[in-house]
Amino acid sequence: MKKTQFEIEYLFRASPTIIYTFITTPACLIRWFCEEADVDNDLFTFRWKDSEETAILVDDFEDELLRFRWEDAVSDNEFLEFILETSPVTEETILRLIGWAEPIDHQFQIDFWNNQMKALKKAMGES
């Protein structure tokens, strides 16, 4: 089945700089996303108890945008993207997450990322 894009938005009180740091540094990634993380230039390796995934950082605009392509992606158009913007009204940071999955898996991915974003907020001291 062909993968299609899904998009989710999250609000944070933390600045784009802090969120960017939590998405890009191994010491922060292990606090909310994986059990172990290694970064070698643009190659990110994430490890959990029984699995390992590798992603290539293909776009990086500090404090604004990160785009990863999973190493096992079938198409270059399948990516995981984090877009960071500041709300002009509330001055909160809006994190837009764009990913790709088979349509039947969209809800699973949304639930997964909702849980991960809760863990990220907790790791940053937000409730």
DSSP string, 113-125: HHHHHHHHHHHTT
- Characterise 100 by phi-psi region: left (phi > 0), alpha (psi -120 to 50), beta (else): beta
Written as tens digits, the pLDDT of the chain (127 aa) is: 789 999 999 999 999 999 999 999 999 999 999 999 999 999 999 999 999 999 999 999 999 999 999 998 888 778 999 999 999 999 999 999 999 999 999 999 999 999 999 999 999 999 7
pTM for the model: 0.93
Number of Cβ within a 10 Å radius of residue 72: 9
Nearest-angstrom CA–CA distance, 50 and 111: 20
Determine the number of helices (DSSP H) and then strands (DSSP E) in the chain: 3, 7
Domains of the chain, CATH where assigned: 4-123 (3.30.530.20)
